Structure 1
Amino acid sequence: MSTLINAPQPQAAPLLSVQGLKVHFPTGSSRNAPVVRAVDDVSFDVPRRSIVGLVGESGSGKTTTGRALLHLIRPTAGQVLFDGQNISGLDEARMLPWRRRMQIVFQDPYASLNPRMTVAQIIGEALDTHKLAQDRRDGRIRELLERVGLDADHRKRYPHEFSGGQRQRIGIARALAVEPDFIVADEPVSALDVSVQAQVLNLLLDLQRDLGLTMLFVAHDLAVVDYLCDEVVVMYLGRVMERGPTRLVYETPRHPYTQALLSAAPVPDPRAPRQRILLKGEIPSPMNPPSGCVFRTRCPHADARCAEAIPPQRDLGQGHYAACVRIDEIKP
């Protein structure tokens, strides 16, 4: 029997699939009280063993999205499929087995660590919760500390005895303790000195490659996302404006918001020709978002059509999508 050598291979199902995710926060107890639409109909996939960047301005809904995926915040609507299973409606008891497979590294490495617990207790708490490595608990803690570049003999110290970068490494070790498949890294280097950021980023990249991790990397620094991520999702006011392979989105951004973000990002050569796109006005309130495209009140290309309906995600090929009614008229 002959074999088609160049036959296309079936694409593996994504580890995580987000479908129509909404997170709305009520502002009062009344049924008619206005709601904050922090995340509003967000959909994207996170392929296995990849790093997907979630970017946007402050208030775009990035952190809320990441936490809703882990049920640290209860979604209002939509589905979160993890390894093909819908985990959206699970209560805390039924979520426990999934929490072993889904972990988070928080933005503030000091606030996320209990100051009254030693490093061994902080990391060991995860092992105890999931009843892992109980017969070799101390040895496992030592292995984890060494894996993230820390001295295993410092496991009896407290968080305040470490630098910011070291505390973040402790947080990473805690996340790795239960051998997860998926990690949400919520701006893990934004609170660190510039000199330390690269070290932590390289550590995350090494861990992802060595352990086969899947990661959602929440960030506002486009250069970091370009360096670290295979794909990128661009959010604005709770909605996805553009998504796709990082290199493709960065080289040919199709949504005006993505173009504006990239035009403001620092470049290695300050003499390189570039045109800065200045956005007018302030980001609207998520309690009262604009009709149609939520970006239209600041978009330099907006016209009457942009207010009529929410633009769908348009398939541009090669896994690249953008939500803009004028996409054919805007130069990449």
Structure 2
Amino acid sequence: MNAPSAAPPLVRVQDLKVHFPTSSARHAPVVRAVDGVSFDVPRNTIVGLVGESGSGKTTTGRALLRLFAPTAGRIEFDGVDITRLTEKALLPWRRRMQIVFQDPYASLNPRMTVAEILGEALDTHQLAQQRRAARIAELLERVGLDAGHARRYPHEFSGGQRQRIGIARALAVEPAFIVADEPVSALDVSVQAQVLNLLQDLQRDLGLTMLFVAHDLAVVDYLCDEVVVMYLGRVMERGPTREVYGNPRHPYTQALLSAAPVPDPRAPRSRILLKGDIPSPVDPPSGCVFRTRCPHAVDACAQTVPPPAEAGPGHQAACLRLDALQAEPLNRTIA
């Protein structure tokens, strides 16, 4: 875990919205994948972005890299608003922002050798042209692979090795910021630990800033300095990981943490079971989007979108009943 920096954040997201039309019709309904998200990614830290499937995590991460066009809001990278830059104007910024994809089997071109995959990024940004082979060898060794692997094709590697190649590709252009989109979810548990340790070492040694998208709360607890909890396109809670995990204030965060495995199976604990299913992002609930499943919802929750409220040092939760709940312990089962 890294100490918080007094410098301005490397990435600042303000009221970000990403909506997708359901059809080409002029007034077609839209999928509100991301619907007013705000958070910072401090320099030289790893921020975890967590939530259920369909919460908007991946869309948020890709929108920060402008892989998805924002519908509204503002994305600042190193103090510069990149929200509506043209593709040509974005090119220098793309070198500083890279992504590691979730599926190592689908993210590498099977017709290209490892040298060609890594060299493609170098060629795009015209880097290391006089020492291309040496740079590729350095990248492979940096992620724990042999330089001789450069001549092989992706199908000759295991899933963990392929993900290391994906990480090397992201590092090729010496970025400042990496979005890791569930990079270990497709890997065996034993391999997951190796890749997580690699990411942690790279972040420390290279001074990287990272947004780590995940649904595994234990992984986020192990790796991330701060955590942002999303539900149905909005931020429910955010803050230092140890503070949020140790004192969850939003009912949704409490429910997520109650479902997370614990090392000691004999430890006393009880699940908080939420009612119903996550609503459709095409027609989200009014007011607080979590209210239809929240055991503490009152009439006011249907009328007002809760703003982020202070819940501790650097810790915020978006709940109208924050003061009343006062972080109830996770010892209730809700049918």
CA-based RMSD: 1.0
3-state DSSP of counterpart to 2:245:
helix
Report the CA distance between 1:247 and its aligned residue: 0.1
Q: Which residue matches 2:97? A: 102
CA 10–217 in structure 1, closer or farther in 2 if over 3 Å, else same: closer
Report the CA distance between 1:29 and its aligned residue: 2.3
Q: Which residue matches 1:3? A: none
Q: Which residue matches 1:71? A: 66
Q: Which residue matches 2:294? A: 299
Once the two structures are superposed, residues 20-64 of structure 1 have per-residue CA deviations (whole angstroms, 9 ceiling, x without a partner) of: 100000112233210000000000000000000000000000000
Q: Which residue matches 2:52? A: 57
Q: Which of 322, 327, 330 is the equivalent residue of 1:327?
A: 322
CA–CA distance in structure 1, aligned partners of residues 234 and 314 of structure 2? 18
Unaligned runs of 5+ in 1: 1-8
Q: Which residue matches 1:244? A: 239
Report the CA distance between 1:292 and its aligned residue: 0.4
Q: Which residue matches 2:182? A: 187
Residue 216 in structure 1 maps to residue 211 in structure 2 = yes
Please tell me the residue identity of whatever aligns with 1:116.
R
Once the two structures are superposed, residues 271-312 of structure 1 have per-residue CA deviations (whole angstroms, 9 ceiling, x without a partner) of: 112221000100000000000000000111111111011000
3-state DSSP of counterpart to 2:324:
coil
TM-score, length-scaled by structure 1: 0.96
Please tell me the residue identity of whatever aligns with 1:286.
P
Q: Which residue matches 1:5? A: none
Q: Which of 150, 153, 171 is the equivalent residue of 1:155?
A: 150
Residue 111 in structure 1 maps to residue 135 in structure 2 = no
Q: Which of 18, 40, 48 is the equivalent residue of 2:35?
A: 40
Once the two structures are superposed, residues 211-268 of structure 1 have per-residue CA deviations (whole angstroms, 9 ceiling, x without a partner) of: 0000000000000000000000000000000000000000000000000000000000
Alignment length (residue pairs): 324
Q: Which residue matches 1:314? A: 309
Q: Which of 193, 196, 202 is the equivalent residue of 2:191?
A: 196
Moved over 4 A (4+): none
Once the two structures are superposed, residues 129-183 of structure 1 have per-residue CA deviations (whole angstroms, 9 ceiling, x without a partner) of: 0000000000000000000000110101000000000000000000000000000
Residue pair 2:249, 2:311 contacting (<8 A) in 1 also: no
CA–CA distance in structure 2, aligned partners of residues 306 and 190 of structure 1? 34
Please tell me the residue identity of whatever aligns with 2:56.
G
Residue pair 2:17, 2:37 contacting (<8 A) in 1 also: yes
3-state DSSP of counterpart to 1:328:
helix
3-state DSSP of counterpart to 1:329:
helix
3-state DSSP of counterpart to 2:325:
coil
CA–CA distance in structure 2, aligned partners of residues 229 and 87 of structure 1? 25
Please tell me the residue identity of whatever aligns with 1:154.
H
Unaligned runs of 5+ in 2: 328-335
Identity percentage over the alignment? 80
Report the CA distance between 1:328 and its aligned residue: 1.1
